[in-house]
Amino acid sequence: MPLYKSKYVIHVIVLIAFALRAISYFYFSKEILPDSLEYLQSGRELWANGKTGANDMMPLYPLFISLSDYLFGWPLLDVVISSLTVYFVYGIADEIGKNHSISLLAGVLYAIWPMSIFYSGAILTESLFVFLFLGGFYAAYHKRLLWCCIFWVLSILTRPVFDLLYPILIVVFFYEEGWVKSLKSLAIYFFAFVIMLTPWWIHNYQKYGSFVKLNLGLGYVLYEGNHLQNHDGGPAPFSGKEPYDPSETNPIKIDQKLKSAAVEIIKNDPIRFLKMAWKKFFRLWNPFPNHESYKGLFTALAVGIPALFIYAGALFLWLRPIEKRGF
């Protein structure tokens, strides 16, 4: 039997993924980003007294990465979780394509993908979030509803970007078993959501004196992305131009002011809003690095070429007739 057909090959790929990520962390630049320092600080605060001073973070990643820092002195847990994601990539590809060789190729590509390797040591939420996000899909494809709910709710506790999408996905994945099954699945999802977020809601109520469902980052992000000093859709500081009284200290009121100001800007110039949305879309899906520090030719090629292959493969799969998507 050819080696690539062995059921143990995927384990070897995961070990290779781990080795690449560990080597990358120890032998290449380990610049600590401002966000990374905030995650570590927030996690230490949560472990120490059950409360964080940060208003724009969810709790899971700060707890996760500060535990790794305390136990190992480096983001070993990030490296492990990023390596284990190869299993989910392989499993999802196998479920979609029903082709062992193609599934292994998908696992290899994720194992060696430069951005995945970079994020595994960057002390940012991406590695944990991707693991949980894909874990939910893997469970959904295998009709394991409870695990699907757990993975996706944990991903919300890491980054709440798909909070509104997950209920729709639950219905989509379980609709084939009938509407009654879909509604029951949705009820189970919301039950898991309430149970798992209740400690965070208690934290927020004790901190703010009122109910806060997720965090207070929406106002900042919405205003940052639309204020008039932002010209490229990327991060744009607006210090000194805040749309609220400088003496205001209530985080909830500040968040509301930022959201209101952003909405007003959008209403006053919807054409500009659409142009900015396009710039943000391009930044998000740009196969080449956006940050000036990573615009060298080698980095651009190392990151951009694999991304272009991924985009081409996704487009090829999407354009194929449904009945032929099993390769």
Pick the residue with more confidence: 28 or 223?
223
Could you tell me if residue 73 is left (phi over 0), alpha (psi between -120 and 50 degrees) or otherwise beta? left
What band does 157 get if pLDDT is binned at 50, 70 and 90?
very high
How confident is the model over 267-280, as pLDDT tens digits?
999 999 999 999 88
Average pLDDT over the chain, rounded to whole?
A: 88
Pick the residue with more confidence: 238 or 38?
38
- Chain centre distance of CA 303: 18
Report pLDDT for 107. 92
pLDDT at 221 over 50: yes
Q: 88-94 long-range CB contacts below 8 Å, 24 or more apart?
A: 88/131, 88/134, 88/135, 88/137, 88/138, 89/134, 90/10, 90/13, 91/138, 91/141, 92/134, 92/137, 92/138, 92/141
Report pLDDT for 228. 84
Residues 2-9 have a mean pLDDT of: 63
Distance separating alpha carbons of residues 327 and 318, to the nearest angstrom: 12
Distance separating alpha carbons of residues 193 and 323, to the nearest angstrom: 35
Report pLDDT for 3. 45
Residues 179-205 have a mean pLDDT of: 93
Strongest mean pLDDT among 48-52, 148-152, 318-322? 148-152
Percent of the chain whose pLDDT exceeds 90: 59
Report pLDDT for 327. 43
Residues 141-153 have a mean pLDDT of: 96
pLDDT at 323 over 90: no
Residues 156-170 have a mean pLDDT of: 95
What band does 240 get if pLDDT is binned at 50, 70 and 90?
low
Report pLDDT for 29. 65
Of the candidates 30, 65, 74, the one whose C-alpha atom is nearest the C-alpha of residue 45 is 65
What band does 49 get if pLDDT is binned at 50, 70 and 90?
very high
- Sign of the torsion angle spanned by Cα atoms 128, 259, 186, 93: negative
Least confident residue range of 81-85, 90-94, 98-102: 98-102
Report pLDDT for 96. 85
Pick the residue with more confidence: 204 or 319?
204
Least confident residue range of 51-65, 157-171, 262-276, 308-322: 308-322
What band does 165 get if pLDDT is binned at 50, 70 and 90?
very high
How confident is the model over 222-231, as pLDDT tens digits?
888 888 888 8
pLDDT at 86 over 90: yes
What band does 295 get if pLDDT is binned at 50, 70 and 90?
low
Report pLDDT for 300. 75
* CA dist list (Å): 295 to 21, 299, 321: 21, 7, 38
Residues 145-158 have a mean pLDDT of: 97
Classify residue 10 as exposed, middle or buried by CB count within 10 Å of its CB (0-12, 13-18, 19+). buried
